[in-house]
């Protein structure tokens, strides 16, 4: 049985008002859990308010920055809480926000990490929900991890994972969005860390086959493909994309303004001299 307060739970959440309260309450009740941090990633519903009501420490991204960024924010929040309490660094248990009360069955994920027999555990859900096209992304991620490391997880995109803090640091910077689980697995294996899969009886919301669900799949696929384009290792962009984009616009605009100013000055000087800017 885990000691009290050895684990910090981090839950990335976006538009999860329906389930977040049940998920947080169940996570708080897990043996060994000191606190639960929810990172509300630009939700348009009251995910944050409900998470707080259920007893979580809540961080907010004003605008969605993706699952990977939300996980980093959650780990940073945990570090600050630990520092404030004068407590050493705890293991991190990442849970998805849509587990509801089944989050209370995540305990077995913690045990191998606490026992020191694994640096990270990955959940294998014994009850699987309807796939609805998910198979393609899962297959792509699994095959890619195997090519990169020689090992293939049974559920490579499963977000329920417990890690030592050293393992978490080894996986940073985390990959963008839904590429986070794939890249984390590859990074840890390449650094010689031990991963154990643990069967748990958790269930999450089944994603359907409507347009919204298909868009979700497309985003997942793009993020996972991006991991392999980067050779399985997440490289942070040299400059933030927003700055890149603005530079692309601002620099030519600045040059155009300069040229215009030069032309206007020449015209004005010409007018003062009484000619028409060189044209007769
Ligand atoms: N930070 C962040 N989290 C997200 C975003 N979209 C979903 N999430 C969270 O990531 C977790 C998993 O999201 P789901 O939509 O359940 O996706 P999934 O379970 O991986 O895949 P499905 O089987 O397709 O449902 C949940 O906790 C969501 O709240 C997002 O844009 N940003
Ligand atoms: Mg889910």
pLDDT digits (tens, 9 = 90+) for 56-79: 999 999 999 999 999 999 999 999
Ligand 1, atom 3, lies closest to the CA of 67
* All domains in the chain, ordered by first residue: 7-229 (3.90.550.10), 239-280 (no CATH)
Pocket probe for ligand 1: among 61, 96, 184, the residue whose CB has the most ligand atoms within 8 Å is 96
pLDDT at 266 over 70: no
| Pairing outcome for strands 33-41 and 7-13 | parallel
pLDDT at 17 over 70: yes
Ligand 1, atom 1, lies closest to the CA of 67
HSE-CB at 163 with a 13 A cutoff on CA atoms is: 23
Name residues contacting ligand 1 (CB within 6 A): 12-14, 16, 41, 64, 66-67, 70, 96-98, 134, 157, 159, 204-205, 207, 216
- Predicted confidence (pLDDT) per residue in 104-156, tens digit: 999 999 999 999 999 999 999 998 765 555 789 999 999 999 999 999 999 99
| Structure tokens that stand for 121 in this block | 């555990």
Ligand 1 centroid to Cα of residue 246, in Å, is: 29
Ligand 2 centroid to Cα of residue 207, in Å, is: 7
**How far is 91 from 76, CA to CA, in rounded Å?**
13
Q: How confident is the model at residue 269 (pLDDT cuts 50, 70, 90)?
A: low
Q: How confident is the model at residue 93 (pLDDT cuts 50, 70, 90)?
A: very high
Residue 146 DSSP class:
H
Percent of residues, the chain, with pLDDT higher than 70: 79
Cis peptide before 92 (omega within 30 of 0): no
pLDDT at 234 over 90: no
């Amino acid at each position: 049985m885990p000691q009290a307060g050895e684990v910090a739970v981090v839950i990335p959440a976006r538009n999860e008002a329906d389930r977040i309260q049940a998920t947080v309450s169940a996570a708080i009740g897990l043996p060994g859990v000191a606190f639960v941090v929810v990172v509300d990633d630009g939700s348009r519903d009251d995910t944050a308010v409900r998470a707080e009501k259920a007893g979580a420490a809540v961080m907010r991204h004003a605008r969605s920055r993706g699952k990977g960024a939300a996980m980093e924010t959650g780990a940073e929040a945990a570090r600050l809480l630990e520092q404030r309490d004068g407590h050493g660094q705890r293991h991190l248990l990442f849970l998805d926000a849509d587990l509801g009360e089944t989050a209370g069955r995540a305990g077995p994920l913690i045990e191998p990490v606490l026992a020191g027999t694994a640096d990270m555990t990955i959940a294998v859900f014994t009850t699987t929900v309807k796939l609805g096209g998910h198979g393609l992304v899962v297959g792509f991620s699994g095959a890619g991890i195997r090519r990169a490391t020689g090992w293939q997880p049974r559920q490579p995109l499963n977000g329920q994972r417990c890690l030592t803090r050293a393992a978490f640091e080894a996986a940073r910077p985390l990959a963008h969005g839904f590429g986070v689980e794939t890249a984390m697995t590859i990074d840890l294996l390449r650094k010689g860390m031990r991963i154990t899969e643990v069967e748990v009886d958790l269930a999450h919301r089944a994603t359907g086959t409507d347009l919204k669900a298909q868009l979700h799949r497309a985003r997942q696929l793009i993020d996972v493909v991006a991991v392999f384009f980067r050779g399985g290792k997440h490289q942070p962009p040299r400059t933030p994309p927003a700055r890149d984009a603005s530079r692309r616009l601002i620099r030519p605009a600045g040059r155009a303004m300069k040229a215009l100013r030069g032309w206007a000055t020449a015209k004005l000087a010409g007018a003062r001299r009484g000619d028409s800017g060189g044209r007769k």
